[in-house]
Amino acid sequence: KYGRKVIVVFVLGGPGSGKGTQCANIVQHFGYTHLSAGDLLRAEIKSGSENGTMIQSMIKEGKIVPSEITVKLLQQAMQESGNDKFLIDGFPRNEENRETFESVTGIAPEFVLFFDCPEEEMEKRLLSRKQGREDDNMETIRKRFKVYMESSLPVVEYYSSKGNVRKIDAVKQVDAVFEDVKAIFNSTIE
Ligand code: UP5
Ligand code: MG
């Protein structure tokens, strides 16, 4: 599918664990292109696409959008970027996501960067974010946590069983977390 060797790092962790925040730092230091699956889906809603209404109601319910849609958006963004190094943030969120991505793109991740954070800390961060996200309310947050535990953590466990997960203690302050993230990128790649 791709002419050159493409490097993909999956950035996983619960809602509010700091994936987006740390990806922005990684982009600055290591030249990756940051693709947040959630951001791509929210852009799709805004664009008024035919799937927009369905995506919007799924996000409101904390549900996982069908892989077909998300993988297509990720592939498009990868092609448009012109880069060959990607942080894929917040995806894959279930086994179906993982299998679809691997079979459609033929890409296996270099490693999984996993932000480990207690639920009470994630809840506090989400409730104080105030960026107008429709899923940052207590009712939806509970649903997001449940889906995360039931469907997304098994994906982390799958990669963990292959020795492919780099786990980060994400409860620390932003700068301290980034120090740990940097150490991983410096030691794992090139
Ligand atoms: N913050 C960050 N780091 C901090 C730190 N170390 N100490 C203190 N505060 C910290 O951070 C969240 C907040 O915490 C911010 O205010 C930040 O300043 C602060 P952020 O970096 O935004 O965390 P992140 O992990 O990115 O949280 P996010 O809410 O984006 O995670 P989600 O995984 O819930 O959201 P996402 O956008 O990935 O998905 C949203 C929904 O889209 C899903 O629920 C699902 O419905 C749908 N979706 C799919 O269906 N499929 C997909 O593949 C992806 C998404
Ligand atoms: Mg995010």
CATH number, position 99: 3.40.50.300
Q: Which residue minimizes the CA distance to atom 19 of ligand 1?
A: 125
Cα–Cα distance measured from residue 149 to residue 17, given in angstroms and rounded to the nearest whole number: 13
Pocket test for ligand 1, best of 11, 25, 41, 134 (most atoms within 8 A of CB): 41
31-47 per-position pLDDT tens digit: 999 999 999 999 999 99
| Number of the ligand closest to the Cα of 125 | 1
Q: Is residue 25 part of a domain?
A: yes
Which token pair is 176? Answer: 């301290």
Q: Is residue 2 part of a domain?
A: no
**Which atom belonging to ligand 1 lies closest to the Cα atom of 170?**
6
91-145 per-position pLDDT tens digit: 999 999 999 999 999 999 999 999 999 999 999 999 999 999 999 999 999 999 9
Cα–Cα distance measured from residue 91 to residue 28, given in angstroms and rounded to the nearest whole number: 21
- The kind and range of the H/E element at 176 are helix 174-188
Ligand 2 centroid to 189 CA: how many Å? 23
Q: Is residue 126 part of a domain?
A: yes
C-beta 41 within 6 A of ligand 1: yes
CB 45 within 8 A of CB 127: no
DSSP state of 45: H
Q: Is residue 102 part of a domain?
A: yes
- The kind and range of the H/E element at 114 are strand 111-116
Domain count, the chain: 1
| Number of the ligand closest to the Cα of 124 | 1
- The kind and range of the H/E element at 122 are helix 119-129
Cis peptide leading into residue 92 (ω within 30°): yes
Ligand 2 centroid to 170 CA: how many Å? 14
CA dihedral 103, 69, 20, 87 (to 10 degrees): 30
Pocket test for ligand 1, best of 19, 21, 138, 169 (most atoms within 8 A of CB): 21
Average pLDDT value for the chain? 96
pTM over 0.95: yes
CB 148 within 8 A of CB 14: yes
Q: Is residue 187 part of a domain?
A: no
Pairing of strands 165-169, 111-116: parallel
43-61 per-position pLDDT tens digit: 999 999 999 999 999 999 9
C-beta 91 within 6 A of ligand 1: yes
Q: Is residue 188 part of a domain?
A: no
Is residue 146 annotated as involved in ligand binding? no
State the amino acid at position 69 in one-letter form.
I
Residue 160 lies in domain: 7-182
What 3-state class would DSSP assign to 189? coil
148-190 per-position pLDDT tens digit: 999 999 999 999 999 999 999 999 999 999 999 999 999 986 5
87-104 per-position pLDDT tens digit: 999 999 999 999 999 999
84 CB neighbour count, 10 Å cutoff: 16
pLDDT value at position 116? 98
Residue 1 has pLDDT above 90, yes or no: no
2-32 per-position pLDDT tens digit: 556 899 999 999 999 999 999 999 999 999 9
Which token pair is 131? Answer: 């960026």
pLDDT value at position 188? 82
Q: Quote the ipTM score.
A: 0.99
What 3-state class would DSSP assign to 171? coil
Residues 6+ apart with CB under 8 A from 120: none
